[in-house]
């Protein structure tokens, strides 16, 4: 008891620091609310995360304020707690209770916004993957279209070599045989398409596998990050809500008890 009586400034310092921490935090929350965009999921996620991350500061301020009242009370008359700054103490307890309810409300708000944003990101990933597949198919069709031109070029090259007289014996026979095969292939569009398809199929399959694996990876990453963010912010908000409500409602009940 003597230590508290010999240092009356201690309770004043605690109350002053408590008031400053609480007020600065409330002002900070009001500033965050000044950019309100309730329909923007990303803004909701950022806002709720920042509020929860800073949520312990006003709680510390309120607790310091109440400790200051307690130190002042035990250093004076037994009923001094009901007479010393009753308005300030009541305001601190009401603010604590309100903040507790606010942090409870933040939990479903944050979780809903996080889930909606994750769904939107997954949808964008799916659209990008579909776009990549469409581009790949277009490239395949372009390659198939060039098949006939490439065939003409090969036939012309073989004919030029045959006409030049540079090929003799087996080389000449092989060149003529190859030329006839290419001509038959050119005269049969279905056979030509099958030949081109056989050449490009492995590469197309490889690229499609990369696109789909990347899509699955991004979807799993997006949902995993959303789940971790929701759990982190949601649980922290729940703990803060419990702390604020215990402090606020317990203090208010004690004040009502002392007055009665």
Q: Which helix (H) or strand (E) holds 83?
A: none
Per-residue pLDDT of the chain (260 residues; tens, 9 = 90+): 444 444 567 888 888 899 999 999 999 989 988 887 888 889 999 999 999 999 999 999 999 998 888 887 776 544 444 445 678 888 999 999 999 999 999 999 999 999 999 998 888 888 888 887 777 666 556 555 545 556 555 655 655 655 565 655 656 556 555 655 555 555 545 555 555 556 566 666 777 788 888 888 888 888 899 999 999 999 999 999 999 999 989 888 877 776 65
Torsion of CA 226, 229, 235, 236, to 10 degrees: -160
Token reading at 150 = 């490439």
What is the per-residue pLDDT for 194? 58
Which residues form the domain of 125?
2-259
d(CA 134, CA 143): 14
DSSP secondary structure letters along 13-68: HHHHHHHHHHHHHHHHHHHHHTT--TT-HHHHHHHHHHHHHTTHHHHHHHHHHHHH
Longest dimension (CA), the chain: 125
Neighbours of 161 (CB within 10 A): 15
**pTM: predicted TM-score of the whole model, two decimal places:** 0.71
d(CA 158, CA 176): 8
d(CA 195, CA 5): 99
As for how many domains the chain has, the answer is 1
What is the per-residue pLDDT for 1? 43
d(CA 82, CA 59): 22
What is the per-residue pLDDT for 216? 86
Torsion of CA 37, 43, 45, 49, to 10 degrees: -100
What is the per-residue pLDDT for 148? 52
d(CA 36, CA 9): 41
What is the per-residue pLDDT for 83? 47
């Amino acid at each position: 008891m003597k230590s508290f009586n010999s240092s009356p400034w201690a309770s004043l310092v605690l109350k002053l620091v408590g008031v400053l921490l609480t007020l600065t935090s409330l002002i900070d929350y009001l500033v965050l609310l000044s950019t309100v965009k309730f329909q923007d999921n990303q803004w909701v996620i950022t806002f709720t995360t920042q509020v929860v991350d800073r949520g312990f500061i006003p709680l510390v301020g309120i607790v310091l304020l109440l400790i200051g009242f307690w130190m002042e009370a035990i250093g004076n008359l037994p009923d001094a707690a009901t007479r010393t700054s009753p308005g300030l103490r009541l305001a601190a307890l009401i603010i604590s209770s309100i903040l507790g309810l606010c942090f409870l409300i933040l939990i479903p708000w944050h979780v809903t916004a996080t889930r909606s944003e994750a769904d939107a990101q997954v949808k964008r990933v799916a659209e990008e993957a579909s776009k990549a597949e469409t581009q790949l198919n277009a490239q395949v069709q372009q390659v198939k279209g060039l098949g006939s031109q490439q065939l003409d070029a090969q036939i012309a090259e073989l004919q030029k070599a045959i006409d030049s007289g540079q090929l003799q014996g087996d080389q000449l026979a092989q060149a003529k045989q190859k030329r006839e095969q290419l001509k038959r292939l050119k005269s049969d569009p279905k056979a030509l398409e099958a030949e081109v398809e056989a050449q490009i199929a492995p590469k197309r399959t490889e690229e499609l596998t990369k696109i789909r694996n990347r899509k699955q990876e991004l979807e799993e990453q997006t949902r995993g990050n959303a789940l971790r963010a929701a759990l982190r912010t949601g649980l922290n908000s729940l703990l803060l809500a419990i702390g604020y409500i215990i402090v606020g409602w317990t203090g208010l009940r004690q004040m009502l008890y002392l007055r009665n």
